[in-house]
Amino acid sequence: MGKIKNLRIKDIIAIFFSLYSLLSSPRVMADTPEKEYEIGLFFYNNDDISDKTVEIFQSLIHKYPNTPTAEEAAYQLGRYYQKKFYIVRDLRGITDPSILEQAVGAYKDFIRSYEDKSSKELADAYFYLALTYFELGNKEAALQSLQQMVSSETLKDDQVRVDRLIWSRRPQDRIEGTFNAQELAKKTLEIFHSYPTTPFQLRDSKELEALILWCKNVYSRKQAQ
């Protein structure tokens, strides 16, 4: 039985690396933006920290500019770097603020590129940019980003999709819901009003815990209607 289990594990590892090599090959890079996006999303969803996700999404943006899929890929670059920061910290014990700075840069690039184009991800970018700033200890910039969600006349996107506020393997941190952008921003401003400016304290903060609880309560009320 032990040999069978070991064989299965080896087979799974071999299949995974074969798939990785296949998807990494330029010969099989998709011929449509949608297919290429799905390949990038495969790496993202499997907790890639090699920047393969970035390579694929940036290639997509370059080859298929001004498409809805390129817009989605540009937004996901920020999500990738934000997620990568927590994976690297959890799995390698390394707290690397430069990864969060890359997330900030990706979100700001997205906002500059799409704030006048009625992007359906614009409110999401402002919100996750704020959370990234909170993690970096830049409270002032975080509050400004949230305030932009509340007051911006160009913000035509009124919904924010949330699966987790920050990446975590803890099941209690999972939310999965869509929230009104202004309500979410106002609640986050209220909860984080007294948040400290000390960096790298977000995950275990009482503020994040309170916001997760609020999101879950809002989602539960929606489901009950």
Q: What is the CATH number of the domain that holds 79?
A: 1.25.40.10
- Dihedral (C-alpha) 214, 172, 140, 73: value to the nearest 10 degrees? -100
Q: Distance (Å, rounded) from C-alpha 211 to C-alpha 208?
A: 5
Confidence of residue 12 (pLDDT cuts 50, 70, 90): low
Section 218-223 average pLDDT? 90
Section 204-215 average pLDDT? 95
pLDDT tens across 47-85, in order?
999 999 999 999 999 999 999 999 999 999 999 999 999
Residue 151 is part of which domain span?
A: 31-224
Confidence of residue 3 (pLDDT cuts 50, 70, 90): very low
Q: Distance (Å, rounded) from C-alpha 217 to C-alpha 139?
A: 26
The answer, yes or no, to whether residue 124 has pLDDT greater than 50, is yes
**Is residue 166 one of the residues assigned to a domain?**
yes
- Residue 11 confidence (pLDDT): 52
Interstrand relation of 159-164 and 174-180 (parallel, antiparallel or unpaired): antiparallel
Confidence of residue 212 (pLDDT cuts 50, 70, 90): very high
Q: Distance (Å, rounded) from C-alpha 201 to C-alpha 146?
A: 19
One-letter amino acid for residue 64 of the chain? Y
**Is residue 152 one of the residues assigned to a domain?**
yes
Our count of domains for the chain comes to 1
DSSP 197: -
Supply φ then ψ for residue 128, to 5 degrees. -75, -25
Supply φ then ψ for residue 151, to 5 degrees. -105, -15
The answer, yes or no, to whether residue 97 has pLDDT greater than 60, is yes
Confidence of residue 176 (pLDDT cuts 50, 70, 90): confident
**Is residue 6 one of the residues assigned to a domain?**
no
- Residue 27 confidence (pLDDT): 38
Q: Both tokens of residue 122?
A: 């614009």
Section 7-32 average pLDDT? 54
**Could you give the 3-state DSSP secondary structure of residue 178?**
strand
**Is residue 66 one of the residues assigned to a domain?**
yes
**Is residue 218 one of the residues assigned to a domain?**
yes
What's the mean per-residue pLDDT of the chain?
88
Q: Cβ-count burial of 172 within 10 angstroms (0-12 exposed, 13-18 middle, 19+ buried)?
A: exposed
The answer, yes or no, to whether residue 7 has pLDDT greater than 70, is no
The answer, yes or no, to whether residue 110 has pLDDT greater than 90, is yes
- Residue 166 confidence (pLDDT): 93
**Is residue 20 one of the residues assigned to a domain?**
no
- Using alpha carbons, list the distances in angstroms from residue 95 to 127, 200, 208: 22, 8, 19
Task: Name, in order, each residue with C-beta under 8 angstroms of 37's C-beta and a sequence gap of 6 or more.
Answer: 57, 60, 69, 72, 73
